[in-house]
Amino acid sequence: MILKNAKIVLQDKIIENGSLLIKDNKIIKISEKEIDANKEEVIDLKGNYLMPGFIDCHVHGGYGVDFETGDEKRFLTFSENVIKEGITSYVQASVTNSVEDNKKYLTEFKNFKNAKNIKGAKCLGVHMEGPFISAEKKGAHDPNLLVKPNIDLIKEFIEISNKNIKIVTYASELQDGSFTKYLINNKIVPSVGHTNQESYELEKDYLLGAKHVTHIFNGMSGVDHYRPGLAVSALTHKDILVEVISDGVHLNEDILDLIYKIKGADNICIITDSINAKGLSDGEYKIGNLEVIKKGIEVRLKSNNVLAGSGATYNHNVKFYKEKCLIPMTELIKMTSINIAKQLNIYEKTGSIEENKIADLVVVDKEFNVLYTFVEGKKVYER
| Interacting residues toward Zn ion by CB under 5 A | 93, 129, 273
- The CA radius of gyration of the chain, in Å to the nearest whole number, is 20
By beta-carbon proximity to Zn ion, the closer residue of 35 and 231 is 231
By beta-carbon proximity to Zn ion, the closer residue of 201 and 273 is 273
Q: For the purposes of burial, counting CB atoms within 10 Å of the CB of 198, is it exposed (0-12), middle (13-18) or buried (19 or more)?
A: middle
| Min CB(20)–Zn ion separation in Å | 34
By beta-carbon proximity to Zn ion, the closer residue of 191 and 315 is 191
| Min CB(32)–Zn ion separation in Å | 41
By beta-carbon proximity to Zn ion, the closer residue of 35 and 189 is 189
Q: Which residue is nearest to Zn ion (CB)?
A: 273
| Min CB(252)–Zn ion separation in Å | 19
By beta-carbon proximity to Zn ion, the closer residue of 15 and 167 is 167
Instruction: With beta carbons less than 8 A apart as the criterion, state whether 82 and 90 touch.
Output: yes
Residue stretches of the annotated binding site? 129, 194, 215
Q: What gap in Å lies between CA 166 and CA 208, rounded to an integer?
A: 18
| Min CB(307)–Zn ion separation in Å | 10
User: Is 273 known to be catalytic?
Assistant: yes
Q: What gap in Å lies between CA 253 and CA 322, rounded to an integer?
A: 11
Cα–Cα–Cα angle for 60, 66, 72, nearest 5°? 120
Query: At how many degrees (to 10) do helices 99-114 and 151-160 cross?
Result: 30
Catalytic residue of the set 56, 205, 273, 360: 273
Cα-Cα end-to-end distance for the chain: 18
Q: What gap in Å lies between CA 11 and CA 9, rounded to an integer?
A: 7
| Min CB(60)–Zn ion separation in Å | 6
Query: At how many degrees (to 10) do helices 314-325 and 253-263 cross?
Result: 80
Q: Distance between alpha carbon 362 and the CA centroid of its chain, in Å?
A: 16
Residue type, 103: K
Residue stretches of the annotated binding site for Zn(2+)? 129, 194, 215
By beta-carbon proximity to Zn ion, the closer residue of 19 and 317 is 317
By beta-carbon proximity to Zn ion, the closer residue of 27 and 154 is 154
Instruction: With beta carbons less than 8 A apart as the criterion, state whether 53 and 23 touch.
Output: no
| Min CB(193)–Zn ion separation in Å | 9
Which residues are catalytic, by number?
A: 273
